Amino acid sequence: MKQSITHFPSLCCVVITQLLCSSTVMASSPAPLPASAAPRYYYSEKAVLDLQGVVKDEKGAPLPGASIQIKGTNQGAIADANGVFVLKNVTPGTTLIISMVGFKSREYVVASATRIQIVLSPNNNIGEVVVTGYQTLRKIDYAGAATTVRVKDIKVPSIGTLDKMLQGQVAGVAIQNTSSVFGTAPKIRVRGSASISGINEPLWVLDGVPLESPLNIAPSELYAGNARNLLASALSTVNPDDIEDITVLKDATATAMYGTRAVNGVIVITTKRAQKSAPLRVNYSFNGTYSLKPSIRDFDVLNSKDQVELNQELFTIYDAYLQNFTANISGPYSDLLNQYNRKEITEAQLREKIRDLKTVNTDWFDALYKNSFTQQHSVSVSSGSDKTSTRLSLSYYDDPGKTLGEYAKRYTANLVNGWQVTDKFFAEVMLKYARRDQRQPGTQVNPFIYARDASRAAKPYDDDGKYKYYKKGYADFNIIQEIDNNYIKLQNSDFSGQLNLTYNITPKLKASGLMNMRFANSTIDEIQTENSNYAEQFRADEFRIRDFNERLYKRPGSPSYELPQTVLPEGGILDKETVESRFYTLRGQLEWTVFDTKQHKLSLMGGMEVTQNKQTSSFSRNYGYRADSKTFASSPLAYERLQVSNSLPADERRMYNGRNLLQGAAAYVNDFTRNAVSYYSSLSYNYSGKYVLDASLRNDATNVSGRATRNRFLPTWAVGGAWNFTEESFLEGISNVVSNGKLRVSYGLRGNAGYRGPELVAYYVNIVRPSFPAYNTTGVNIVEAENSSLEFEKEYMFSTGIDFTLFDAMDFTVNYYNRKNFDLVGYKQVQTSSGYQTKLFNWADMQNRGMEASLNIRPIKVVGDFKWSGMVNVGYNKNTVLSDYQGNNPSVFDATVSEGFARKGMPVTGLYAFPFAGLNDQGLATYRDSKGGTVLGFPNASRDLSNIVYQGSRDPMYSGGFTSNFAYRNWLLGVSFVFNTGHVVRKADYYRGGTLSSLYRDDLNQSGDFAYRWRAKGDEAFTNIPRLLLPDDVNDYINLGFFDESVFGLYNRADIRTINASFLRLRNIILQYNFSKFARSLRMQGLTASLEASNLAVFASEKFNGVDPETILSGMNMPPVKSFTFSLSATF
Amino acid sequence: MLKRYKLKGLRTYGLSGAVLAISTVLTLSNVSCSKFLEAPVDNRTLIVTLPDMEKTLNQLMPYSDHHFTDIMSDDYIFRDLAGHNVEDAVNQILPIFEFDICRQSLPATRFLSSGFNPVSAFRRYYNCIINSLLIIDKLKAYTAASPEEEKRVKVIRGKALAIRAYCNYMLVNLFAKQYNPATAASDKGIPFIEAYSGEPVVGYKQVPVQKVYDEVIKDLTEALTLVEDQPLQNPQFNFSVDAVNALLSRVYLNKKDWDNSIKYANDLLRRRNTPLNVKNLRNTIVDYMQYSTAYFNPANASYILMGNNTYQLLAYFWMGMYPYPAVQMLRDEGADPQNNYVIITSALHNDYVPQKLMLFQSLATRSGNLPLLTVDEVLFNRAEAEIEKAKGMTPQAQADLTLLINNQTFRNDSAAARIAALPKLTTRDAAIQMLLRIKRIRFSSEGMRWFDMRRHNIPVTHQGRSGTYKIDGTKPEDYVIQLPTEEITRNPDL
């Protein structure tokens, strides 16, 4: 790996030098004049002529800026604004190479004509071919449902990764951008969800090779918002400027080649390549994005005055109770009370200071966010001769961060080189390198969460300009200081090398091979320095709190009079995780055109593929870390505490699949290997260009599916048919109205291979005997029982659709599909005597039905030079769980989680809530039970799901977008909207934390709803917000059998807290100007500049009170902010 | 070369030739890639090596899952203290205390999830049974490469058999009637697992009590010939010859086979007659935390087999369950001069908690290890069998009980009085009563009492939240815990 990297820059240098050498001569010789006029006489028999030509596109429009080069020399000319060029003294027989960005280069042999017209056809006519990753097929021979988009049409420079840009661009692809942090993955569903417990994300394919995220991340972990999520997006290493186009393969025929990984759809990305026989081109593009910080005024929270008054009231009610926990956590109000209790201030001062508190009104967004300027530079150089073609691109992305303590930098380098070795043999080498440096505030100090939730009466700095401290975990806490001292540093480098070989054995038989190796190394350091509050919590050992501070340690079995002590006398904590990923793909295939006559065309394809994904991550927790000197203080007790304790606080555990990997250890390694051998074949038959039959078959064998051969080999197959109806003679009459018409239908079996397999799953565990470490030992824990009849998840997919073009101006596509997902794997309760509570079964069925429609309007002349074009797409998906999926016999609280819950006859992510029945005359919330009665709550263990009501799907049922482009001469104005609708979410908790002790903390603000709470009898007619709970109420609730969750959680999950999550986002507005004249004067191929405003507005339910509806509020997820981008693209 | 061949094939034989060629290549590559496809997915283990099997058995060693039965014994009362008890925990403990579990089948959700309940005991015992059968299966597939390995294979099989026997024995003593030679062949026992199966759902038929005992004895007798004399590592956490002997003496005692009980007790006590001197321990260690640590130290020679980790043992003291009757009994007997029960003062109430259990209180050690088989118990077993056999006190029983009395925390005068009384206990009932009293003191709050009560039909009355609950000692079925609802509804063979 190391060696490959070190070789890489030198390789790049060679290529650059080569390219520059060949270009300097050309650039410095502007006129195509021969060296001297004199020799003309000697060659008089060979007449020379002055040539005037015009370069046009297929529609007859002139192509200004096209370059004309005399083959074999560095001389040539450039077409003017009317596409006209003049070459003097040209010898007949000379070959000219005419090229233009976006068009296929062509050659012209000079004859006797002096006035010539040259027509260039557009490059990569993507309407004509479909790239499946295994093959490039003529669209006319293709029966699958695939949508191709060009990056330039969907690009949003401020986003940085391609996956998030895809939102709203392809019908049937629903994308929820859950976080705007660089490197996190959006939630993508192609035609709905296919699995209940497994992977639902589509497969990404880059230049024919599946692209995995740099670490193996469990489906349940994907949107968890922890440090590993920074590596969740597979696309973070790909520079969007290097991508030519993206094809989304949606139905069974289209995805059949991907076998057991195809069930969630496949997104194929093709990178740019240089054309053969194309002159040297250099492109530089720049994007600068200015992002604005959000404001607390976008959120509905109490202001300082209301907040402090609420705290005062609560402290009166809960005096003893609240005084207790303020030693652990304090906010502005309890901080003053503490000073008063310690007689540091007088009562008069206390009153005065409380009055001051009411006017603080800190906007934490202002304090923690910054207006930032992100920039991205890309340079690409491409050139081609008739034997080779080369493209090299370099890019640099620099995001200084939208919040304090945040930045991301990415460097990419891509090199593609193609050689036409012989007439029959073509070889291509692709080298890709990406490096990323990123810093994020630590998992526990998310600036967004803090800015949203912290009391506005608290402030970052004291009156004297020093940090203002509050208590957290018994130690001093200031968010700004903490962000400086508690952070994640991520470094990732990703190198891939690919060799594509094609050998045309005969004109009808083609053999091709592909070899890809990709190495990705990542380091995630989560650092809590010695000055962080987190480290200080380990040292908070004042006598009053010693017995309460869980970070202190008392050796088991030590005498009862011994006090808990600190285990971290010096330094902080370094959690270091390194992830090494190795991906190998080897593929060989044969494509054979059996016959190709006017009537029949039959092609066969078959191949074999071997892949290996190896991911190793190692984690270590290191105590005593001195961040400045990068040294460690000795802290033996800290390790002892970690290894001995069975009850560490949750933030000191590392849970994975229900195991605490730090049990009895300070480090662990997680290995993951997926080996697969696959055979695939396909048949494509076309009868007189009208009728198409496609069929394919694939067999996957993997190591993850266990040893039971029967289940390891699952042939997936698909058949599809298409009718190019506009080719029919009876429709010839209307061919100027309808063209490119195609009716498609397909059916097939796809699979979803989980990582479980039928074998039992057992891991080593450390059996720790805390008080008697001499008896510690190792066990093997059988986590999951064997299920010898476990199989892959499967799906039958029926898909049909129609494509046609109206008046050569509007492209329509309408699709319908029906997915029957069966043998879905899920946990099911089993008899107790089986020794397990649940086992993994193939037993659930699910259905996805949907429609997609898209309309693309090609540029239409509105008036004069004013043209308009547009795009609309919408996808509808209805997901229904067909089995009575109950998993672990859920309680009403399990079934009402905000992420949604799978129930029979409902969507897999159905959201459920408790039916609110209004406030009673005491101002307490009541709910309707299934018997029609009104109750004050449901016990935690209640399992009667008839007491909860369905609210709607958590995933959008409709998603799509529309774009409108106005062009006037060199100006272009584009407006693009995206939307998701038909789904619901739950408002952020009214009772934060869900327990009494976390509820009335004065370091947090409360939702603005508190201002409308019930205060006096009669209020229940006007408000749904319950009154403050008195200690007596709490006792009453307890006597009724209701505890924290069944009081607070119930209200948080009441149906009145559900919000329609539909939104329409003004994704971006772009204004672009093409400096064609100016560019020509500089002998450039093109120069465009654009201004873009992103994320200007979101139209969503008012109930969100300004919170972005796409952002699931947890962990490190941060919502997108408004931004403005300046872009420049220059081609030489 | 290959390409040329294929090309020729295509031309000569057309399509079928190509198919043949491709399939030949595929078949060949398939053979070579089988290893590639057997590569481990992650750092999981498929338990195919002997060390892995041994480690699996480490994990399968039984827990003290029977410990919840203390709440059913006559050692505990319930105090309904509103505002002090954790209410939902009380609701989940009461079905045990009020003998609901003996009258009706209850689902897991009615109990604390911490594991302190009959359903998780049921599940865990079966988990150990299934997986010890799995290990026995895996052993059959294993070919030992050397005599050392052969020996190791034997030991593993022995341990697996012993684990299975222990769990079957505990299950039949919790979920079926006390063994009665007259009715055992027809008394309904427990769902019995004959052999391992990897299928997701396998039905298990409920076999008679007699059959379970027969199987237990069969397994243990075989295990005795296989297990190590003295395991090198962690003997207290492994089934050794001592542990199997001790368990056999218990099983035969419950089977009312006095001779065999005495025989295996003798076998054990000949090898080690080292009961725990609680009195000495208590007198030398004042600090309760250190006393507790010393008490539960696996190094104590009395401890033959320690349970694997257990739940947060102290939890139930905060749920209204208090060992007041046990405290009272100890004091009445003059066996609590050092105040073996510590008083923890909360804001509202004084809680009585046995000092010996304080080890399990600290944050770091919420779970710990309780002894499952002890030399002390075997002494009691031998004494009981002797008394039962002779229908009165015997010299051996007298000697054993004297030793045991001297080891308890009796005041000197109380100890002397009891020792003096022993020869006068000529009737079976009086002798047994004395024995059970001393045993109750010795194993207070350690999960032994309920089984003694079952064996001897000792009546018990509990004052619950909404009434008085009684087992009058006349019907052996009153002591039977009903199978969990999950078992009844999901086991296809029930």
State the smallest CA–CA distance between residue A293 and chain B in angstroms: 43
Q: Quick check: A406 pLDDT over 60?
A: yes
Q: What is the CATH number of the domain that holds A96?
A: 2.60.40.1120
**Count of CB atoms within 10 A of residue A9's CB?**
11
B365 inside 8 A of chain A by CB: yes
Write out chain B residues lying below 8 Å of A667, CB-based: none
Give the pair of three-digit tokens for residue A1076.
């064609």
Cα angle A77-A82-A83, degrees, rounded to a multiple of 5: 40
**What is the model's pLDDT at position B274?**
94
Report the candidate in A977, A974, A1006 with the shortest Cα–Cα distance to residue A990. Answer: A1006
Residues A174 and A189: beta-carbon distance below 8 Å: yes
Neighbour-count burial of A495, counting CB atoms closer than 10 A to its CB (0-12 exposed, 13-18 middle, 19+ buried): buried
For residues A809-834, average pLDDT: 89
For residues A308-313, average pLDDT: 88
Nearest by CB to residue B198, choosing from A701, A787, A832, is A787
Q: Count Cβ–Cβ pairs < 8 Å, chain A vs chain B.
A: 248
Concatenating the DSSP letter of every residue in B156-219 gives: HHHHHHHHHHHHHHHHHHHHSPPP-TTTTTTSEEEE---S---SS----PEEEHHHHHHHHHHH
Inspect the interface and report whether the beta carbons of B128 and A835 lie closer than 8 Å.
yes
Is B493 inside any structural domain?
A: no
Inspect the interface and report whether the beta carbons of A560 and B358 lie closer than 8 Å.
yes
Query: Burial letters for A1013-1023: b for 16+ Cβ neighbours within 10 Å, e otherwise?
Result: bbeeeebbeeb
Distance CA B419, CA B428 (A): 17
- Of all residues in chain B, the one with the smallest CA distance to A1046 is B88
Is B126 inside any structural domain?
A: yes
Residues A813 and A854: beta-carbon distance below 8 Å: yes
Distance CA A556, CA B364 (A): 7
B84 inside 8 A of chain A by CB: no
The conformation of residue B484, written as its DSSP 8-state character, comes to P
Distance CA A820, CA B336 (A): 71
Inspect the interface and report whether the beta carbons of B47 and A712 lie closer than 8 Å.
no
Domain range enclosing B328: 50-461
State the smallest CA–CA distance between residue B489 and chain A in angstroms: 8
The conformation of residue B33, written as its DSSP 8-state character, comes to T
How many Cα atoms sit within 13 Å of A983 on the Cβ side?
Answer: 30
Distance CA A374, CA A395 (A): 13
Q: What is residue A347's three-state secondary structure?
A: helix
Cα angle A769-A771-A774, degrees, rounded to a multiple of 5: 65
Report the candidate in B158, B224, B178, B58 with the shortest Cα–Cα distance to residue B457. Answer: B178
Which amino acid type is present at position B84?
A: H
Q: Considering A61, A87, A120, which residue would you say is the last residue of a domain?
A: A120
Q: What is the CATH number of the domain that holds B79?
A: 1.25.40.390
Distance CA B147, CA B139 (A): 15
Q: What is residue A936's three-state secondary structure?
A: coil
**What is the model's pLDDT at position A2?**
40
For residues B154-160, average pLDDT: 97
Structure confidence by residue, pLDDT tens digits, B282-308: 999 988 888 989 999 999 999 999 998
**Count of CB atoms within 10 A of residue B421's CB?**
12
Residues 171-200 of B with CB under 8 A from A: 191, 193, 198-200
> Cβ neighbours of residue A1036 under 8 Å, at least 6 residues apart?
none
Is A999 inside any structural domain?
A: yes
Is A562 inside any structural domain?
A: no
Is B443 inside any structural domain?
A: yes
Write out chain A residues lying below 8 Å of B487, CB-based: 831-833
Is A82 inside any structural domain?
A: yes
**What is the model's pLDDT at position B346?**
55
Q: Considering A1057, A1080, A1104, which residue would you say is the last residue of a domain?
A: A1057
Backbone angles phi, psi at A149, to 5 degrees: -125, 150
Is B6 inside any structural domain?
A: no
Structure confidence by residue, pLDDT tens digits, A164-192: 888 878 888 877 776 777 777 788 888 88
Which amino acid type is present at position B278?
A: V
Distance CA B90, CA B94 (A): 6
Structure confidence by residue, pLDDT tens digits, B164-215: 999 999 999 999 999 999 999 999 999 999 999 988 888 999 999 999 999 9
Nearest by CB to residue A771, choosing from B45, B234, B293, is B293
Inspect the interface and report whether the beta carbons of A788 and B199 lie closer than 8 Å.
yes
- Of all residues in chain B, the one with the smallest CA distance to A216 is B42
Is A693 inside any structural domain?
A: no
Distance CA B305, CA A253 (A): 63
**What is the model's pLDDT at position B318?**
59
Inspect the interface and report whether the beta carbons of B43 and A762 lie closer than 8 Å.
no
Is B75 inside any structural domain?
A: yes
Concatenating the DSSP letter of every residue in A772-833 gives: -GGG-EEEEEEEE---TT---EEEEEEEEEEEEEETTTEEEEEEEEEEEEEEEEEEEE--GG
Write out chain A residues lying below 8 Å of B130, CB-based: 785, 834-835
- Asked casually if ipTM beats, i.e. exceeds, 0.95, the reply is no
Give the pair of three-digit tokens for residue A117.
């017209």
Is B24 inside any structural domain?
A: no
For residues A82-87, average pLDDT: 81
Query: Burial letters for A462-471: b for 16+ Cβ neighbours within 10 Å, e otherwise?
Result: eeeeeebebb
Is A528 inside any structural domain?
A: no
Who wins on pLDDT, A113 or A1019? A1019
Structure confidence by residue, pLDDT tens digits, B423-479: 999 999 999 999 999 999 999 989 999 999 999 999 999 998 878 999 999 999 999
Q: How many domains does chain B divide into?
A: 1
Inspect the interface and report whether the beta carbons of A703 and B37 lie closer than 8 Å.
yes
**What is the model's pLDDT at position A225?**
57
Distance CA B491, CA B494 (A): 6
Give the pair of three-digit tokens for residue B286.
């004042």
For residues A237-263, average pLDDT: 84
Residues A1091 and A1070: beta-carbon distance below 8 Å: yes
Residues A642 and A662: beta-carbon distance below 8 Å: yes
Q: What is residue B246's three-state secondary structure?
A: helix
Backbone angles phi, psi at B402, to 5 degrees: -60, -45
Structure confidence by residue, pLDDT tens digits, B261-286: 999 999 999 999 999 999 999 999 98
Is B13 inside any structural domain?
A: no
Who wins on pLDDT, A622 or B350? A622
List residues bridging with A591 in a β-sheet.
A510, A605
Cα angle A809-A272-A30, degrees, rounded to a multiple of 5: 95
Distance CA B152, CA A1053 (A): 57
Residues B353 and B317: beta-carbon distance below 8 Å: yes
Backbone angles phi, psi at A328, to 5 degrees: -85, -55
Distance CA B368, CA A771 (A): 8
Which amino acid type is present at position B474?
A: T
Domain range enclosing A115: 31-120
Q: How many domains does chain A divide into?
A: 2
Q: Quick check: B16 pLDDT over 50?
A: no
Distance CA B155, CA B136 (A): 11
Residues A541 and A474: beta-carbon distance below 8 Å: no
Give the pair of three-digit tokens for residue A215.
């670490």
Inspect the interface and report whether the beta carbons of B363 and A645 lie closer than 8 Å.
yes
For residues A526-534, average pLDDT: 94
List residues bridging with A868 in a β-sheet.
A860, A966
Confidence of residue B33 (pLDDT cuts 50, 70, 90): low
Concatenating the DSSP letter of every residue in A700-750 gives: EEESTT-S-HHHH-EEEEEEEEEE-GGGSGGGGGGTTTEEEEEEEEEEEEE
Look at chain A and count its residues: 1132
The conformation of residue A41, written as its DSSP 8-state character, comes to G
Report the candidate in A777, A1007, A1016, A991 with the shortest Cα–Cα distance to residue A919. Answer: A1016
How many Cα atoms sit within 13 Å of A97 on the Cβ side?
Answer: 20
Report the candidate in A154, A137, A275, A146 with the shortest Cα–Cα distance to residue A202. Answer: A146
- Of all residues in chain A, the one with the smallest CA distance to B111 is A941
Give the pair of three-digit tokens for residue A487.
């952070």
Residues A763 and A275: beta-carbon distance below 8 Å: no
Inspect the interface and report whether the beta carbons of B198 and A670 lie closer than 8 Å.
no
Distance CA A484, CA A572 (A): 13
**What is the model's pLDDT at position A883?**
81
Is A139 inside any structural domain?
A: no
* Helical packing angle, B241-254 and B209-226, nearest 10°: 160
Q: Considering A1057, A1075, A1110, which residue would you say is the last residue of a domain?
A: A1057
B461 inside 8 A of chain A by CB: no
**What is the model's pLDDT at position B47?**
92
**What is the model's pLDDT at position A755?**
67
Is B342 inside any structural domain?
A: yes
Backbone angles phi, psi at A776, to 5 degrees: -60, 150
The percent of residues above 70 in pLDDT, for chain A, comes to: 89
Q: Quick check: A17 pLDDT over 60?
A: no
